Structure formats: C-alpha cells, structure tokens
Amino acid sequence: MKLTIYGGRRLFGDLKVEGAKNAALPLLAATLLTDDDVFLQNIPDVGDVRTMIQILEHLGKRVEPAHPRDSYLIRTVEPPPSSAPEYLVRKLRASFCLFGPLVARTGKAQISLPGGCPIGVRPVDLHLKGLRALGAQIESLGNLFHAQAERLHPAEIYLDFPSVGATEQIMMTAALIPGRTVISNAAQDPEVHDLARLLIKMGAGIMIEPGRLIIEGAPHLQGTSHRVIPDRIAAGTFLIAGAIAGGDVTVHCQPLHLEALMSKLDELGFEIQEHVESIRIISEGPGSYGGGRVEARPYPGFATDLQPQMMALLALARGTSTIKETVWESRFSQAAELAQMGARIRVDGATATIEGVERLRGTVVRGSDTRAGAALVLAGLAAEGVTTVIDSEGHIARGYADLAGALNGLGADIILEEASEEKEVVASGRE
C-alpha cells in the first residue's frame, strides 16, 4: 500500500472513531469460552480483526456479519480443537491470548509464538507465568508452546509488569475456573476493563480494584451481547492530526480514556475543549506550539501507541523536546524517516531528543509498523510538497479502518493506492 499526501491543508470538521481494535481482539478471543452465541457490536474493520476472525473460524466458530453495521454474531459449529493455525497466529500478536481459553476449554493447547508489529522484543513469559500458576503444565519446543492441564485451579498471581496481554490472558482463563483468582499489578487499560465487562455478562464475577483484579470463575459461561468501546488510539491520532496540520477538529470518543494526551496537548499550548463524548482541538499549525517532555508508560500514563504520532508533532514544535519510551525498546523507527523529511531527532537508547524545525519537506518514507506509519502520514499533512508513505506490509490498515478516508473527510488531500496489478486509486481527497 502507498499513501501520497499533499501537504499544507488545514483540517476542519468532526468525526467518530471506530471501535477499539485492542479491545475487539480479546473480546473475540473470549467467545471461545462458551458454546453459546455471542453478539458483538462496533467491531472495527481492520486487518488484525479479520485475522482473528479467520483464526476463530479454524477453532470451531462461525462468525457472521450482522446488523447493525460492524456487528458480528459468533456461533459454535463444532468443539474447539486444541491448536490454532500457525500461519495465522504468526500474523497477530493478540493471537497468543487464545492459549489460555483453549486450555480451559479442551485441557490442552498448542500455539506458536505470535507475530505483529516489529516494535521490540515481545516476551510471553508473564502469560506463561500466569497460566502455570493456574495449573497448566507448559513446555516449549522452538517457537511452539504446548500446554496440558488435567484440572485448572484459581490462584493469586503477581505480574512483574502490568502487561495488558498477560492480564487479559489470565482473566479469560480464570473466568472459566470456579473459585477466586487475584491478579496483582494488573493492567488497568480501558480495553482490559471492556473485556472484564464482557466476562461479567457471560457469568464470571470480576471486581476491579486499584492495581489488581479479582475474578470469581464459573464452571460454564453463557452467551451475551456487547458493544466495543471507541478506539482511544485512533481518536488520539486524529487529535494529533488536527494539532500538526492546524485547524479545528472534533473527535467523538471517550475523553476519560485520553486524559494523558489531552493534558500533554494543553501543556504544549493547544486549545482543547473536552465534552461528555467528544474532544475538540483548535490549532494554528506548525510553529504555533512549544516543545515538551513525553514519557510513554502503561495506562493511565501516556500511551505508547501514540508516541510515534507525538514525535511527528514535536518535530515542528518550538524549542527542544524529549520522548522517553518505557514500554517497547524498539519504537523509534519513525525517527529516521522523519529525519528524511527534515526533522532533527537524536535517539539515545530509550530516549529521543527532538529539536523543533520550522518546516518539514515531502519525500518518500517507509512505515515499518502501524503507529509509525500513521505518524509519517501525520507529518505529511504538515510538510511542504508531496509525501509518499510506503506501507508494503499493510501495517496501517491493521490498526485503522480507513485512515486516509477519515483525514480526507476533514480536508486532507491523500491518495491511497493498493498494491494490486492495476494499482487502483481507492481513496482521494483531491479535486
């Protein structure tokens, strides 16, 4: 895929973000915990979700599109096997969260080390620690993990790091184990709480406390219906787009999920208006705002998935800015590409120092992961001339249903070309 961005257009208008990809994926995985029908609404049409649906259909589910749009009815057509197809698992980091539900349902499971964006080492040790504490016997052979459990049992588990994936893995598995499981130092992201709400509807008891989750498991879980929360990362991306391009943009979302971003944008000098279900940003564009310090941390800290977009914004700020990444050690791939556009960025380990410049210039750059690709598109909005973002692996579409179309709807000028024989233009804001 290739995105061609004609820079210099300010953005105006409002948009509603899709459902959260990072919430939808574990919600879909949780449907393995029951044979009953589960109806999910506001599922985003992104690449990662399509991959998860494919995996579920290999695991005995039929996933039917339903009304209203972006809804699915997940039905059981046969008992789940104990293994997921390796070629699909390797496409998707979130596929590893199927491991625990498969063990809970079948007493054994086999899964390969997952794939996803190349943003650093993604250990699964906390997942394995949690499942072992619940009674699973796990062995690894190369990139394959095998688990067996004659009888799972509740446990008290402390996570050395508040891993979202490990928290979700343990919570789903414990939901099908009668008794009380406690996860201390659990992740408290909105997506984790959304999964908890689904599991409660399915019959589990879950209590959310500061720093920990208490799960009262049940011997059987039932079907239910659930609506996915709005995507806070997509919402943040569009707010940063309004900031860097200049203009007046309103994003319909859940503001409580974006407090760290709003605080930082306010600190930089943007006008931010928070409403019950929307956020408005008013910006004069490049050079109208100051620099600052950003530290990507687990929620409720500044989201690591918004750090690359913030780097693009700070490249055009007045003065010097710093970004520290504490979640992933290889999440500065966008820095070298932004430098090709004229940004002045120095990376030293987990810290990037950005000297603001007056302007960026359009050129050809490459997006190596979902959020880095989005950051380069945002930089192109404010750059002089034409920016071409090469996304040969389709990373951007894994996390955004239609990034180009949404930005064009606000007044951007972006042409999206699919990597097909005819290279047909599928989205354009040009007149």
Three-state DSSP at 68 gives: coil
pLDDT for residue 392? 86
The Cβ of residue 267 has, within 10 Å, a number of other Cβ atoms equal to 14
DSSP 8-state assignment for residue 318? B
Query: Is 253 noted as a catalytic residue in this protein?
Result: no
Q: Which of 5, 88, 117, 372 is catalytic?
A: 117
Give the pairing of strands 179-184 and 351-355. unpaired
**Sign of the alpha-carbon dihedral angle for 87, 92, 97, 98:** negative
CATH 3.65.10.10 domain span(s) along the chain: 2-18+230-428, 21-227
Amino acid identity, residue 175?
A
Tens-place pLDDT, residues 150-191:
899 999 999 999 999 999 999 999 999 999 999 999 999 999
CATH class of 2-18+230-428: alpha beta
Q: Summarize the confidence of residues 46-68 as an average pLDDT.
A: 95
Q: For helices 21-30 and 190-202, give the axis angle rounded to 10 degrees.
A: 30
Q: pLDDT category, 115, cuts 50, 70, 90?
A: low
Length of the chain: 431
Three-state DSSP at 406 gives: helix
Tell whether omega for the bond before 114 is within 30 degrees of 0, i.e. cis.
Answer: no
CATH superfamily of 21-227: Enolpyruvate transferase domain (3.65.10.10)
* Average pLDDT score, the chain: 93
Tens-place pLDDT, residues 252-278:
999 999 999 999 999 999 999 999 999
Q: Summarize the confidence of residues 137-148 as an average pLDDT.
A: 91
Closest CA to 104 of 71, 65, 72, 147: 147
Give the global pTM.
Answer: 0.93
